[in-house]
Amino acid sequence: MEHPGFFKRAGPFTLGLVAETVGAELASNANPDLEIVDVLPLDDAGEGHLSFVDNPKYLPALETTKASACIVAPKFVRKVPSGTAALRMREPYRGFAKAIALFYPESVRPKTAGPAREGDSAPGVHPSAVLEPDVIVEPGAVIGPEAHIGRGTTIAAGAVIGYRVHIGRNSYIGPNAVVTHALIGNNVVIHSSVAIGQDGFGFAMGQEGHMKVPQIGRVVIQDDVEIGANSTVDRGALRDTIIGEGTKIDNLVQIGHNVIVGRHCIIVSQTGISGSSELGDFVALGGQVGVVGHLKIGAGAQIAGSSNVRGDVPAGARWGGTPAKPVRLWFRELTLLRQLAERKDVKIDQEEGGDGE
């Protein structure tokens, strides 16, 4: 059965109303009475959909989009396809935030479990929640409306399972973990105080202040994933955040919105992956790695601990350093710097009458 989603969509709205709401100027050839039914990414959008572009990296997607309308900066209007109406504004990301709030007004505030009601099947379990046989709900756990928990799964003490969350079979949700806006597979282990499905860090910055961008995506965690204590996985803004089958995540890891992690990856403690980055299968990230947003790390790549990844990494590569680069080049740089520093020390000692030791 297809999941019904976590947020109710409003509308449809006319293009003229959308433009007025977001503060954009319609192109002269745009039909203000055109019906807009939803907001989607450029490559998923079709007839009746609104999208936006703010980052030049996505201009190729803009040129091929099938969206009925798109919010763009004036400098990108020429890139908008002939079948797509342009909504011009100086700050497209801010306009996008307003459009999301228009179509998904409930998304401005997170949905968790809701209040307990008389007649709950167990303390903290909402009557509309579905628990298969052999589910263990420990004291103090809360399971929200329309949640579904599979056979043999344990919800540990103090954990919170939010509205419409689905969890598969033989999984474990640790003490004080919070799972919202998420679909979780079988044999998944989520350790204590993990937070899954909270808002991604999306703000349209500007002179008027930082406007919150509602996040209407989900978190999808596939089978056999393990997530260490105090790690966080943000839900997607429009797309889903996805953790692939068999991936193992250490403690204190942050995974941003729209991130896609492939199958059987290893992510070590204190690593941070910024929004919309993608990791291929069997990628390994050492401890304290930082990955900037909107880049791709190819399948089988390995990144050394404490590295900062600022560009795409080819499949099978081994990189390290800040900024990260192929390890052979990184080691050569470190060797040259050490040799230069040692020569400098010798010269200083000689000038000062020392023996260079």
User: What is the dihedral sign for C-alpha 56, 296, 205, 28?
Assistant: positive
Given the residues 126, 166, 191, 257, select the one marked as catalytic: 257
Residue among 283, 253, 287, 237 nearest 99 (CA): 237
* Closest to 145 measured CA to CA, from 184, 114, 166: 114
* 3 is annotated as an active-site residue: no
Rounded to an integer, what distance in angstroms lies between the CA atom of residue 325 and that of residue 307?
9
Secondary structure string (H, E, C) spanning the chain: CCCCCCCCCCCCEEHHHHHHHHCCEECCCCCCCCEECEECCCCCCCCCEEEECCCHHHHHHHHHCCCCEEEECHHHHHHCCCCCEEEECCCHHHHHHHHHHHHCHHHHCCCCCCCCCCCCCECCECCCCEECCCCEECCCCEECCCCEECCCCEECCCCEECCCCEECCCCEECCCCEECCEEECCCCEECCCCEECCCCCCEECCCCCCEECCCCCCEEECCCCEECCCCEECCCCCCCEEECCCCEECCCCEECCCCEECCCCEECCCCEECCCCEECCCCEECCCCEECCCCEECCCCEECCCCEECCCECCCCEEECCCCEEHHHHHHHHHHHHHHHHHHHHHHHHHCCCCCC
| Residue 296: Cβ within 10 Å count | 16
Q: Which two tokens stand for residue 82?
A: 């002939």
What is the set of active-site residues? 257
